Structure 1
Amino acid sequence: MRIAILAHEKFPDRAKTALGVLRYGDHDVAAVLDRDTAGKRVSDFVSDVQDAPIVAELADLEDEADELDALLIGISPIGGEFDESWRDDVRTALEYGCDVVSGLHYFLAEDEEFARLAEENGCELRDVRNPPEDLTVADGVAGEVDAEVILTVGTDCSVGKMTTTMELARDARQAGFDAAVIPTGQTGIMIEGWGNPIDRVVSDFTAGAVEEMITELGDEYDYLFVEGQGSIVHPAYSPVTLGILHGSMADKLVLCHEAGREAIHGYESFSLPSIPTYVDLYESIAEPVAEGRVVAGALNTAGLDDDAARQAVDEYAETLGAPATDVIRFDTDDVLEALR
């Protein structure tokens, strides 16, 4: 499928969905839309993902319109709202006959203009954050599956939980193990093509939605890598984190953190607790349901040079008392060994 990815004014630093699809998706990316960096290429900013030109608007791809299959919304502001400055690009995509794939809390299919244009041009509005209607409460049975269940947990949002999940699953497969990803957020769903958007599920059903996915695949794989969301201390998103923690009944936890981050992004009046505090919180809250332990760490060192990154990872591992790595920058051998 040939796609364009919308990432206006956020690429690359705050466009984690765009980067996730560029790094792990199997789509052919025609271009990234970003008004601020138009005229450059993805490789000017990020070297280890699929390269593509960056353009100011979808209309810049008019000559390629017949070859485009979809426009993917590759960013999600706090609260998941639709930015009206994106409307022209979505409208243009629908007029070209392209599907539009969105991970926003704002459902494009419920927008009167977009719904009309989609019908007129025979294309689809796919709101991946719209959960199925038949979800139920958890039965507390995820721990009974044959697979080892590994959950990425975080000190905050946007510290690398999805990336860590994808990298560890990929490396486990390369090591000869049957490994699958359990997608719980819009980026993972767009990459894997299935999943439950846990932050949109009714609170009573969040654990059940995770459990359902694990029991569906749990006897077919050696390892299930569950994509974590939020943080157990996040003032807005902690309920989602708790639902995944209890619903997955994970055997092992990987604690993800960003080097140098001291406060919760977007809620800077809230300082991050110490790393040992996070370990104690995640393990003690998980323990009544499943005795998951933090056995490894993943540190996002994107803002550091190589020497500083290596030092930061070593210090993080020492603080954790467990193997750690930057899954993009360094190998994952020690972390995978701890998980095995």
Structure 2
Amino acid sequence: MRVALLTHEAFPDEAKTAVGLLRYGDHEVRAVVDREFAGRRVADVLDGVQDAPVVASMDDVPEVDALIIGIAPIGGRFEESWRPDVRAALERGCDVVSGLHDFLADDPEFADLAAEHGGQLRDLRRPPDDLTVAEGTAGGVDATVVTTVGTDCSTGKMTVSFELRDAARERGLDAAVVPTGQTGVAITGWGLSVDRVVADYAAGAVERLVQTPEEKDLLIVEGQGSIVHPAYSGVTTSILHGSAPDALVLCHEAGRGTINGYESFSIPPLPAVVDLYDRLAAPVSDATVVAGALNTRHLDDGAAEQAVAGYAEAIDAPACDPVRNGVADEVLDAVV
């Protein structure tokens, strides 16, 4: 499918969905719509991802099948300044795909335009109607189940999940990511966004996801939030208990000492975070933190190498930066 990615004034750091699609998606990205970077190319900003021109508005986008909102703002609200581009996409008969909490299909103007011009409004965060509470049966899955967890939001859990999947596949394993957020759903075409599910059903939703793929060797459950996050610890717990994993991979960003956006809250020492996750998993599984992934994007190569070594020592487990250097053999060994 040919797509454009809307990232106005958020590319690349605050455009997690767009970057995820550029790095791991099967879509042909024909343009990124971003006022701030218009006139440049994706390759000018990001390495190792699909390249595309950056344009100022939907009017500058070549023929595409869909516009995907690639921004993942805190709270998932729709920004009114995006309305002209969404309107233009619908008037061209394009689908519009959104991972926001504000459902575009519930917007009267967008719904009318979609009906008039034949496009579809796809709200990736809209949960199914038949979810239930967990039954505690995820532990019976034949595959090895690994859940990525973090010291904070946006530390790389989704990215690490896909990197682990690809590394496992290179080793000959039948591996799949279990998507629990809008970006993972956009990349894979299945899954659900757990942060939109009624709290009572959240663990049950993850349990259902883990039990969906058939005959896999390895399932990597995409984590969300952090157990030490003052706002999002609930969804973290639901994913951890609903997935009943066999192992955990702890994701962290080098140099981050406070919760992003909640800077009055410090991230506990790394050994304490490991202990928290080990003890939180204990009621439902024997999973422990067996490996770590460190986001070193702000460091040069020498500093990154030192940071990864220090991180591995701090969590007492093998670690790597899978984006910078690939998944280290000892990390994949620990996971599988």
TM-score by length of 1: 0.97
Q: Which amino acid aligns with 1:285?
A: L
Q: Which amino acid aligns with 1:241?
A: T
Distance 2:45 2:288 in 1: 36
Tell me if 1:251 matches 2:249.
no
Tell me if 1:178 matches 2:178.
no
Post-superposition CA distance 1:1-60 (Å, at most 9, x none): 100000111111111110000000000011101111111100001110000000111111
Q: Which amino acid aligns with 1:31?
A: A
Tell me if 1:114 matches 2:78.
no
Tell me if 1:316 matches 2:311.
yes
Distance 2:212 2:60 in 1: 43
TM-score by length of 2: 0.99
Tell me if 1:284 matches 2:241.
no
Structure 1 position 339, deviation (Å): 1.1
Q: Which amino acid aligns with 1:54?
A: V
Post-superposition CA distance 1:269-299 (Å, at most 9, x none): 1111111111111110110111110000000
Distance 2:299 2:100 in 1: 31
- Residue 52 of structure 1 corresponds to which residue in structure 2? 52
Distance 1:339 1:226 in 2: 12
> What are structure 2's unaligned runs of at least 5 residues?
none
- Residue 97 of structure 1 corresponds to which residue in structure 2? 93
Contact 2:163 2:326 in 1 (8 A): no
Distance 1:214 1:17 in 2: 22
- Kindly report which structure 2 residues correspond to 1:34-183, keeping only aligned pairs within 5 A, or say none: 34-61=34-61, 64=62, 67-183=63-179
Distance 1:5 1:39 in 2: 15
Distance 1:336 1:221 in 2: 16
Distance 1:68 1:144 in 2: 43
Post-superposition CA distance 1:119-175 (Å, at most 9, x none): 000110000000101011111011111100000000000000000000000110111
Post-superposition CA distance 1:88-133 (Å, at most 9, x none): 0000000011000000000000001100100000110000000101
Distance 1:126 1:163 in 2: 23
Q: Which amino acid aligns with 1:326?
A: D
Distance 2:77 2:326 in 1: 36
> What are structure 1's unaligned runs of at least 5 residues?
none
Stretches (4+) displaced over 6 A: none
Tell me if 1:307 matches 2:283.
no
Moved more, 25-34 or 330-339: 330-339
Aligned-residue RMSD, C-alpha: 0.7
Tell me if 1:191 matches 2:153.
no
Query: % of aligned pairs identical?
Result: 64
Distance 1:91 1:10 in 2: 20
Post-superposition CA distance 1:66-94 (Å, at most 9, x none): x3100000002110000001000000000
Structure 1 position 331, deviation (Å): 2.7
Tell me if 1:200 matches 2:196.
yes
Q: Which amino acid aligns with 1:104?
A: L
